[in-house]
Structure 1
């Protein structure tokens, strides 16, 4: 497989999207009477998906057709402007900022679709068919989302996300083309690992934010140390697998990596929010249990699925590994459900789980 290196412009591009993800994650910190209202959970997901898909769209174009040419740099710089517009429009009061959000998102997706049409004339064979297919079919979802501006209330969002959903499933229907012009697995894993690493950084920021400047505040120091060990264990498990346990020579359409990372990234945002919420004690105990353990379960399932397909045969996990990990989470959850424990104990349990998860999946 031809070597493709991540460029500095791509890494700069990532930073802007992480700012958008951080803004969306902040929605999870809206606590009312001890609960995160379902409205905020839904808004978080609805904000997150367009951010993720806009980033994926450009990343996949670069993965297959990207070259460090002047015109492609200009396309990415123009996209950054639309990222800024979209990010500045992310708010709990979404209706008020809907138009600039739509302009930012549509601008991003339209520029990516145009890039496919531009590169189409430079390619041949299967690669030309892929560029033709994606460059034309992506416009279906883009146009449908544009029509959302004609409506109000829930109809507006239904039309917007109908377009986004169609946009997301376009690669599934074109899989017969995509597998013939497979993605560059090395570059793809490196790109998603780069974005994941920055989101791990968001978790570290959440951990540091609980440290108080008061002298002798050992509660916050202990909580931060345990949280940091948890994050390091997650980092160790993820990047040890990426670096040593997966066969990067496997050539596929990359869809397991792409769609699996949606849930990995969502769970990382939820875990980052959980760290802060656990320390602040603002959320009702039972709700906190469900929220925290759901976040960890989502991360565990998503990482297991993503890495399983690409692992070397001798490194693939067995069914009893799955039972062990799920059993540990279940025991901790049921124990905490019947016996109220301090939040720092919950963090300790999760840290122990991720230490075991990292140990058994990286040795």
Structure 2
């Protein structure tokens, strides 16, 4: 046994390593325990955002709740996105890197605490401060990368540091401008945030790892779907404690579970890392996942609303409660096809499975109290159809 690993385990991390790109061809690149811990802390933020969406929809305030949810979820997703792509390219896993990442996690938790105020009162002060903590840590990482590199790679790191800093200043608009201007500030700043990587990497592409990135997105999908399962389970449990309407609740629980299982199956049916050859493919795929993640998380909120409506706790119609499930469910099916799985579909039959399924799920909205169960059955049929078509036209993966 070595002195570095007296008990046979891995050696302790170095205090500081030179922060250079890890390489896209690095073998056996997988998510680290620190990245998994980072993702786990986002469960809190996703859960809080979903809970606020449930309250808004259950009270019939969809016009306020949906835009608020999309804005808050963008903040959650962007924080995760910034860390994920940087870590894929420059994770040194030394002591300094770990400490700075833990600081970023602290910012995530502060952001989570501020979501209710942002959602209910358009008060983004706590969210902004949480972002400040995360951004200071992230900028320090980019500056560290710039210090360790030269030439075009160094300019790219410095551009990232400057762009992220300027955007953080720009978000001050949501603190000081009138409420009616905040949606426009959000749109402008969201575009600015998404433009930073496009501008920074115009001459040098950071060394993110395709398989690692695909795994990281897959893990976040699991987190979002897991939170959806948790939210739906708690909703059914709470309803059972206050009502004996098993005839309505059990079909809803079954339908919701089938929908979530199908969503998992469909997303992980393709080896998407083979598609991520360069920034040209990865930017559209990576940015499009904002809508994929948001719709997946909203499914759980929708199931909660449907359950509350069934036991008389939600002040919305049966049609509206059904739509709270079918709309995000249909969006998830279509968006997964659009951004993710269509790259591996062969022929018109396979290409049409998910778009047609999305339309069929939307049609389930008119099924009244049976909408959730019917939606789950349609989603299950989608998986079955995909598997059957893949056996007729074999390929590495399909659903």
- Measured against the shorter chain, the TM-score band is 0.7 to 0.9
Secondary structure at the aligned position of 2:171 is classed as helix
**1:116 aligned residue:** 142
Q: Which runs of 5+ in 2 are unaligned?
A: 1-24, 391-397
Is 1:127 the counterpart of 2:153? The answer is: yes
Q: Which has the larger radius of gyration?
A: 2
RMSD between superposed Cα atoms in Å? 2.9
The alpha-carbon distance between structure 1 residues 100 and 323, as it changes in their structure 2 partners (threshold 3 A), is: same
- Per-residue Cα deviation, 1:307-351 (whole angstroms, up to 9, x for no partner): 247x5xxx43434434343334434544753x6453344334443
Q: What do the CA deviations read for 1:136-168 (whole angstroms, capped 9, x no partner)?
A: 222221221235544443345644653343122
Q: Which moved more, 1:25-34 or 1:263-272?
A: 25-34
Per-residue CA deviations over 1:67-119 (Å, capped at 9, x if unaligned) read 10111111111112221211111115654753222111122123212211111
Residue 278 (1) aligns with residue 303 (2): no
Provide the secondary structure at the position in 2 that maps to 1:240.
coil
State the match for 2:70 in structure 1.
Answer: 45
- Bigger drift between 159-168 and 270-279 goes to 159-168
Q: 1:240 aligns with which of 262, 265, 269?
A: 269
Give the direction of change, closer, same or farther, for the CA distance of 1:160–1:346 in structure 2 (3 Å limit). Answer: same
Change (3 A) 1:165 1:336: closer
Counterparts of 1:1-363 in structure 2, within 5 Å, are: 1-3=25-27, 4-31=29-56, 35-91=60-116, 94-95=120-121, 97-146=123-172, 148-155=174-181, 158-159=184-185, 162-178=188-204, 180-209=205-234, 210-211=236-237, 212=240, 217=246, 219-241=248-270, 245-248=271-274, 250-253=276-279, 254-281=282-309, 282=314, 283-308=316-341, 311=343, 315-331=344-360, 333-334=362-363, 337=366, 340=368, 342-356=370-384, 359=387, 360=389, 362=398
SS at match of 2:268: helix
Alpha carbons of 1:216 and 1:22: their partners in 2 closer, same or farther (altered >3 Å)? closer
**Distance verdict in 2 for CA 1:30–1:112, change over 3 Å:** same
Distance change >3 Å, CA 161–CA 328, structure 1 → 2: closer
TM-score (norm 2): 0.78
Instruction: Point out the more displaced range, 317-326 or 107-116.
Output: 317-326
8 Å Cα contact 2:107-2:134 kept in structure 1: yes
CA contact (8 A) 1:264 1:303 kept: yes
Q: Which whole-Å deviations, capped at 9, do the CAs of 1:182-211 have from their partners, x for residues lacking one? A: 421111111111111111111211332214
Contact (CA 8 Å) 1:293, 1:333: kept in 2 or not?
yes
Contact 1:18–1:198 (8 Å) recurs in 2: yes
Aligned to 2:6: none
Higher alpha-carbon deviation: 130-139 or 89-98: 89-98
Flag the 1:160–1:105 CA change in 2: closer, same or farther, 3 A.
Answer: farther
**Matched pairs, number:** 354
Moved more, 46-55 or 104-113: 104-113
Residue segments in structure 1 that go unaligned for 5+ positions in a row = none
Aligned partners of 1:306, 1:329: CA distance in 2, in Å? 14
Note the C-alpha offset of 1:120.
0.7
Pair 328,299 (structure 1): closer, same or farther in 2 beyond 3 Å = closer
Give the structure-1-normalised TM-score: 0.85
